[in-house]
Chains A and B, each alone.
Chain A
Amino acid sequence: MKYLTEFRNGEIAQRMAREITAIATRPWKIMEVCGGQTHSIIKNGIDQMLPAGIEMIHGPGCPVCVTPLELIDKALAIAAQPGVIFCSFGDMLRVPGTDADLFQIKGAGGDVRVVYSPLDAVELAAKNPGKQVVFFGVGFETTAPANAMSVHVAKRRGLKNFSLLVSHVLVPPAISAILESPGNQVQAFLLAGHVCSVMGYWEYPPLAARYKVPLVVTGFEPLDLLDGIRRAVIQLEAGHHEVENAYERIVTFEGNRSAQRLLAEVFEVTDRAWRGIGVIPKSGWRLSDPYREFDAEERFQISGIHTQESALCRAGDVLRGAIKPAECAAFGKECTPRHPLGATMVSSEGACAAYFNYGRFLSAEELAGAGSALTGAAHG
């Protein structure tokens, strides 16, 4: 586990947290963009280690969570069709559509399969020429290269029975939208390290300059996150607004150029609806003209679906960072990972699921009580 355990050292983490406390003279609100970062923060209790004034606001960077309900309903309609093998990452199976989820479609006889790579779905298409194989390609820039590669390979192999149900979204337009939204409170961002491993961070200096916000490319391990937060606080205290890279072992300024070339060939920029947020102009990718024939929406022409959001679910406010998950009235009551009302309670990167799974429904006293009891654990 080299390059991982080194970044989980509790003593160094405590030291870094003390350093942040020493630097911070005022309260600051910092948003971590990526859902993976949210989970790491909650799982490791990073937010509990920070000084009281430093508040982490959880961003919209959970691809499953921001996928519009209408597209999920379309996925369910396609997956239920005979002759279709519907492939998805595991997360998507439990996301509730208006009337069902993919597990229920599978239980009712739909051929729904979990794959670990979209290229596995391409293989399935090659092996099952009599079936239509559809891959549900959602995600940010991180998952886009593999999805792009799947249609690229399918085209090269002349596969007529593979298609992509695609809903890609992009980080920079989302950051702009958050900063321009009325009542925005976010003063600095931790940029999503894995998005930047693909895209580099050359897109971000204009954002930092225009909105005068510090942007820090940040990783996912506890020390990565603390370093990202530390650098953001140093900039905020000094009134700077630079793009900094706190994830140098993975991310370069240019990013992965060959992946970017493939993305530019396979995808084109489009307006996208973000679940709970609304349409953000030029905030996503769709298949470009040469690859349009692989678009599942074009191939299946699903119409007449009825889409209705839960009236109780406040996932949109959570995704915008306007409320914390536990502030939603349905949290832990009508809405649990077992009976999720919205995607943020389902996905492994969803903020509500993170809060629920790691016990953030407990009062501070209850958790503190557990802590003091733990300190007394001296066996072994």
Chain B
Amino acid sequence: MGEDVKASLPVPASATPDFSNWSCPLPLVGYPSIVMGHGGGGKLGNELVEHLFLPAFRNAALENLGDAAVLNLPSGRLAISTDSFVVQPLFFPGGSIGELAVNGTVNDLAVSGAMPKYLSASFILEEGFPLAQLAAIVEAMAKAAATAGVQIVTGDTKVVERGHGDGCYINTAGIGVLREGIEVGPHRAQPGDAILVSGTIGDHGMAIMSVREGLEFESQIRSDCAALNGMIGAVLDAAGAAVHTMRDPTRGGLASTLNEIAQSSGVGINLSEARLPVRNEVQSACELLGLDPVYVANEGKAVFFVAPEAADLVLKTLRAHPLGRDAAVIGHATAEHKGMLVARTAMGANRVIAQQIGEQLPRIC
């Protein structure tokens, strides 16, 4: 049954998903949208689990449907992370809140040096939210989890009255197993480290902006939303302990992430603006809106601080991975101007790239 259900659920390919051909595999007692009872812990809630979540996420730990999933993990150190997702709109070019919710937590574990294993998924749904959209989100999560090689083993659903939510919020938490011999962290960057980014910056934030009401652009900018654990695994396999710091520059973009690392590690950072990979369409959209791509969010990029002698190897490894084709060395850490990010402009002058005050773009993840 599970396979049939999956096959019948469409995954939206664009910002305006088409649900016209969607049909519920087993009728959910005739409700086309979420009602308060779906969060009530009774029959309606059970139906959501049995007809939607279980077929999509199916795995042994989840199938017990106990109050907690029971897991077997190898001995050693574990990492745990959690994140909530409130992106608006829920579907955007290149993904949806579903992929974001899985990849966001997977990436937080991966950049901590952990191999992500298990996720939880909690949904806060607004009364009246179309079941077809929920199904598309759940299906996107299932696919993203399969791609990342993680299992969604426990979850929860709550429903709030109409007007008290914004369709669908998702929280995920994840557990990962730390790799042996890897010690990475935002405080471990060292003067002299080469700084690499795995690809073009600003794609996700501008993809969201491009479909916000009143801002529709003609050219499509797609979100870079992706699970980075495979690519990061390849880098750690190749360079091991030469990797000192990894981060995924999500909200606040590359600038915020680099500023945080500079402050945590007590190093200065020198950046070369000319080397920052930025897509033409992203740069153009940023110009139009008066934004700077260094502050715009990414959901499928990682930043690496590595020992200088390992820079070439890491760059080669990144570029050999499908998610790292546009990787570049963008600067280096220094013992000077500690805690600050200084960029060399294309004109040959220097400017400080400060931490963002407030949010440049709200509700992008």
Q: Which residues on A are within 8 Å of B, measured CB to CB?
A: 1, 4, 8-10, 13-14, 42-46, 48-49, 94, 115-117, 120, 222, 337-338, 348, 356-359, 362, 366-367, 369-371, 373-374, 377, 379-380
**Residue from the list B215, B280, B351 in contact with A45, Cβ < 8 A:** B351
Cβ of B81 < 8 Å from any Cβ of A?
no
Contact of A370 with B336 in the complex, beta carbons under 8 Å: yes
A373 to B268, CA, bound (A): 10
Given A10-B347, A380-B329, CB of A348 within 8 Å of CB of B290:
yes
Within 317-341 of B, Cβ neighbours of A (below 8 Å) are at 328-332, 334, 336-337, 340
Residue in A46, A338, A362, A379 whose CB lies within 8 Å of B349: A46
Chain A to chain B: the 10 pairs with minimum beta-carbon distance, closest first: A45-B349, A359-B352, A380-B329, A370-B342, A379-B329, A358-B351, A374-B344, A337-B357, A10-B346, A48-B349
- Distance in angstroms from B341 CB to nearest chain A CB is 9
Contact A370 B332 (CB under 8 A): no
- Assess the B348–A338 pair: CB atoms within 8 A: no
Shortest beta-carbon distance from A334 to chain B in Å? 16
The listed residue with most B CB atoms (<10 A of its CB), out of A9, A348, A357, is: A357
State whether the Cβ of B14 lies closer than 8 Å to any Cβ in chain A: no
Q: Which of B349, B354, B357 contacts A44 (CB 8 A)?
A: B349
Query: Are the CB atoms of B270 and A44 closer together than 8 Å?
Result: no
What's the minimum C-beta distance from B62 to chain A, rounded to whole angstroms? Answer: 40
B326, chain A: closest CB distance, angstroms: 13
Q: Is the interface of B mostly helix, strand, loop or mixed?
A: mixed
A374/B284 contact (C-beta < 8 A), A116-B214, A379-B332 known: no
B interface residues with partner A (beta carbon < 8 Å): 194, 196, 214-215, 268, 270, 272, 274-275, 280, 283-284, 287, 289-290, 308, 311, 315, 328-332, 334, 336-337, 340, 342, 344-352, 354, 357-358
CA distance A341 to B280 in the complex (A): 37
Kindly identify which residue among B331, B336, B345 contacts A43, using a CB–CB cutoff of 8 Å.
B345
Q: CB < 8 Å: which of A48, A117, A359, A379 contacts B194?
A: A379
Q: A1-B283, A337-B357, A380-B329 are in contact. Are A8 and B315 (CB under 8 A)?
A: no
Closest to A8 in B: B346
**Chain A residues within 8 Å of B315, by CB:** 380
Given known contacts A348-B290, A379-B194, is B215 in contact with A116 (CB within 8 Å)? yes
Complex Cα gap A8–B272 (Å) = 15
Instruction: Check A371 against B354 for contact (C-beta < 8 Å).
Output: no
Return the contact of A373 from the options B270, B274, B284, B290 (Cβ within 8 A): B270
Would you call A14 and B348 a contact (CB within 8 A)?
yes
Give Cα A248 to B350, complex, Å.
Answer: 29
In contact, A338 and B357 (Cβ under 8 angstroms)? yes
Q: List 6 A-B contacts (CB under 8 A).
A: A10-B274, A44-B351, A116-B289, A338-B357, A359-B350, A370-B270
Q: How far is the CB of A263 from chain B (nearest CB, A)?
A: 24
Task: Verify B350–A370 contact, CB threshold 8 A.
Answer: yes
| Contact present for B268 and A370 (CB under 8 Å) | yes
Contacts of B329 in A (CB 8 A): 379-380
What distance in Å separates the Cβ of A61 from its nearest Cβ neighbour in chain B? 15
Question: Which residue of the partner chain A has the closest CB to B341?
Answer: A359
What is the CB-to-nearest-CB distance from A338 to chain B, in angstroms, rounded to a whole number? 5
**Nearest A residue to B291 by beta-carbon distance?**
A348
Indicate the member of B215, B272, B290, B340 with the most A CB atoms within 10 Å. B290
> Contacts A1-B280, A370-B270, A374-B272: A49 and B334 contacting too (C-beta < 8 A)?
no
B214 & A45 in contact (Cβ 8 Å cutoff): no
In the assembled complex, the Cα of A337 lies from the Cα of B295 at a distance in Å of 16
Q: Which residues of A contact B332 (CB under 8 A)?
A: 377, 379
| Given contact pairs A9-B346, A94-B358, a sample of 8 additional A-B residue pairs in the complex whose CB atoms are under 8 Å apart | A44-B345, A48-B350, A359-B352, A370-B342, A377-B344, A379-B308, A380-B275, A380-B315
Q: Determine whether the beta carbon of B268 is less than 8 Å from that of A45.
A: no
Complex: A94 Cα to B358 Cα, angstroms: 10
Closest to B272 in A: A377
Partner pick for A362 among B331, B337, B346, CB 8 A cutoff: B337
- Distance, CA A108 to CA B81, complexed state (A): 33
- Partner of A222 from the list B331, B337, B344, B347 (CB cut-off 8 Å) is B347
- Interface contact A367-B290, CB-CB below 8 Å: no
Q: Which residues of A contact B347 (CB under 8 A)?
A: 8, 10, 13-14, 44-46, 49, 222
Q: Say yes or no: A371-B351 contact (C-beta < 8 A), given A4-B287, A116-B214.
A: no
**Which residues of B have CB within 8 Å of A377?**
270, 272, 331-332, 344
Inter-chain CA distance A366–B342, complex, in Å, is 10
**Distance of A337 Cα from B356 Cα, bound (Å):** 9
Measured in the bound complex, the distance between the Cα atoms of B308 and A357 in whole Å is 29
Q: What residues of chain A lie closer than 8 Å to B275, measured between beta carbons?
A: 380
Contacts of B214 in A (CB 8 A): 115-117, 120
Which residues on the B side are within 8 Å of A10 (C-beta)?
Answer: 274, 345-348
Q: How far is the CA of A1 from the CA of B342 in the complex (A)?
A: 25
Assuming the A-B contacts A1-B284, A4-B287, A379-B332, are A42 and B308 also in contact, with contact meaning beta carbons closer than 8 angstroms in the complex?
no
Residues on B with beta carbons closer than 8 Å to the beta carbon of A357: 352, 354
Given contacts A49-B349, A374-B272, are A380 and B215 in contact (CB under 8 A)? Answer: no
Give min CB distance, B144 to chain A, whole Å: 31
Q: How far is the CA of A380 from the CA of B215 in the complex (A)?
A: 37
* Complex-state Cα separation, A44 to B345, whole angstroms: 6
Please report the C-alpha to C-alpha distance between residue A359 and residue B272 in the assembled complex, in whole angstroms.
Answer: 16
CB distance from B336 to the nearest CB of A (A): 5
- Is B342 within 8 A of A374, CB to CB? yes
Residue of A42, A337, A348 ringed by the most chain B CB atoms within 10 A: A337
Residues of chain B lying within 8 A (CB to CB) of residue A14:
347-348
Give A380's nearest chain B residue, CB to CB.
Answer: B329
Cα distance A46–B350 in the bound complex, in angstroms: 10
B282 to chain A, nearest CB (A): 10
